[in-house]
Amino acid sequence: MILKGTEDLRVIKTIEGIKAAFGELICKKDYEKITVKELCDIARINKKTFYHYYETLDDLLAEMQTELSSGYIDRIKNYSLPEELDKVNRAFFVYSSEQGPAYEKITCSGTYHSIRDKMVVEVNDAGWGKSKKYRALSDYEKNLLMEFINNAVLSAYRQWVEDGKRLPIEDVIEMTNRMVLGGVNGFLKNEKETDETRKSGACVF
């Protein structure tokens, strides 16, 4: 249940307690090993209360995914891609640094790849779906571009977390932007030149 702030105080406390307990369990173990019973024990509610708001743990996990994705999408909704990719990357690191340990586990752990993949797809669709340059690419080129960007940015974030965040976040953002922007700009520039060459009838080799 995504809270809107208009609910009864008891409902708000119950939902917040469920989500806090869920986040605690995510940090401790793989999702497949989490049970409703232990979640309820930590949240200090009975199973009937849990099932009043969620049919399954999958529903709770999906809601967490939606909340995390929506929060980041809202940060980047006014940016144009690829022109403001540096700002989008910055927003990712700043947003990620504001989240808790459960977010880090989801983003960095292989056991939570399914929810992370869904979040990535939602973010990519929201950000790049409006880009004319992106829409002009072939499906293969789109997939290749997204794979490069996602792997580069997520790898930089994971490494930063694994290193204990010792490096200032501004340094991490600057290095990641140099790497990602260089690759993306070079890729799109070559695609434009290749397209113009094709239109002129010249050989592309």
Q: Which two tokens stand for residue 43?
A: 């949240």
Q: Could you tell me the residue ranges of all domains in the chain?
A: 9-55, 62-200
pLDDT at 7: 62
Higher pLDDT, 85 or 119: 85
Quick one: average pLDDT of 105-115? 84
Burial class (CB in 10 A: 0-12, 13-18, 19+), 27: middle
Given pLDDT bands bounded at 50, 70 and 90, which one contains residue 116?
confident
Q: Nearest CA to 76 among 131, 12, 139?
A: 131
pLDDT at 2: 56
User: With pLDDT > 70 as the criterion, what percentage of the chain qualifies?
Assistant: 89
122 pLDDT higher than 50: yes
DSSP state letter for 82: T
What would the CATH number be for the domain defined by 9-55?
A: 1.10.10.60
C-alpha of 149 from chain center? 12
Given pLDDT bands bounded at 50, 70 and 90, which one contains residue 189?
confident
- In this structure, the number of other CB atoms found within 10 A of the CB of residue 68 comes to 22
The amino acid that residue 150 corresponds to is N
Q: Outline where the chain has alpha helix (H).
A: 9-28, 36-43, 47-53, 57-76, 85-98, 101-108, 113-128, 132-135, 139-162, 169-200
